[in-house]
Amino acid sequence: MELSSAIYSQSSAAQILRPKLCFTVSIPQRASIVSSSSPPRYLRMETQSQPRQSISCASSPSNNVSPATSNESARVGEVKRVTKETNVSVKINLDGTGVADCSTGIPFLDHMLHQLASHGLFDVHVRATGDVHIDDHHTNEDIALAIGTALLKALGERKGINRFGDFTAPLDEALIHVSLRKRELPTRAAAAAVRPARRGRGLRPGPGPGPLGLGLGGGPPAR
């Protein structure tokens, strides 16, 4: 009698401690019950394929065509700026794939604009001519103003955008940290300890922020 009680107790404990398995069944969006004159009734499920979108920092050769092209819902800004010293045309697609087509007459500036497009996944189109035979700061400043204005236009109502943001990236021998605050006032603050011999032509510290705080140079070389 005692043995049977012990066996019963162990069996009850095993049932209590036995892990419970839960199964989740995903049902497609559309389902309808189909009945016939004779049982059984069965459930017919209709699946709907939905388009998927993916993004990549590197564009394929087939995508390396006309930049700043997108569908109607894309955020695109376009600016034309003409002064006595420069003629600048900028078009930016914030929902692009990282395609850049830039010709500024300043090779290092072209390189930096390509980096902006690649890492930001923007489509950037820049055409600029200026008095670079005298100095390149006019071209730098006007391109910065045009890009900032194009970004401002492309952002539109700015729905779904956080007010603050920051990012840190180690790039080979450099560690870069950027903090952004979305506001209307044009402000730019930059600090970089770069030797003059290593600094690219066309990007020198100085005034010239764009409407979103984007400054690409101007002024004499830093000492």
* 15 falls within a domain: no
Q: What pLDDT, on the 0 to 100 scale, is given for residue 99?
A: 93
pTM: 0.53
Query: What is the CA angle 50-56-57, rounded to 5?
Result: 160
Model confidence band, residue 205 (pLDDT cutoffs 50, 70, 90): very low
Task: Tell me the pLDDT tens digit for each residue of 109-131.
Answer: 999 999 989 988 999 999 999 99
95: CATH: 3.30.230.40
Higher pLDDT, residue 150 or 173: 150
Domain of residue 99: give its range.
Answer: 69-196
* 215 falls within a domain: no
Q: Which of 50-54, 70-74, 122-126 has the lowest mean pLDDT?
A: 50-54
Q: Has residue 50 got a pLDDT over 70?
A: no
Q: What pLDDT, on the 0 to 100 scale, is given for residue 98?
A: 93
What is the average per-residue pLDDT within 133-145? 91
* 180 falls within a domain: yes
Cα separation values, 53 from 61, 93, 96, 97, Å: 18, 16, 12, 11
Instruction: Give the count of domains, the chain.
Output: 1
* 79 falls within a domain: yes
Contact 97, 142 (CB under 8 A): no
Q: What pLDDT, on the 0 to 100 scale, is given for residue 171?
A: 80
* 134 falls within a domain: yes
Q: What is the percent of the chain with per-residue pLDDT over 70, rounded to a whole number?
A: 49
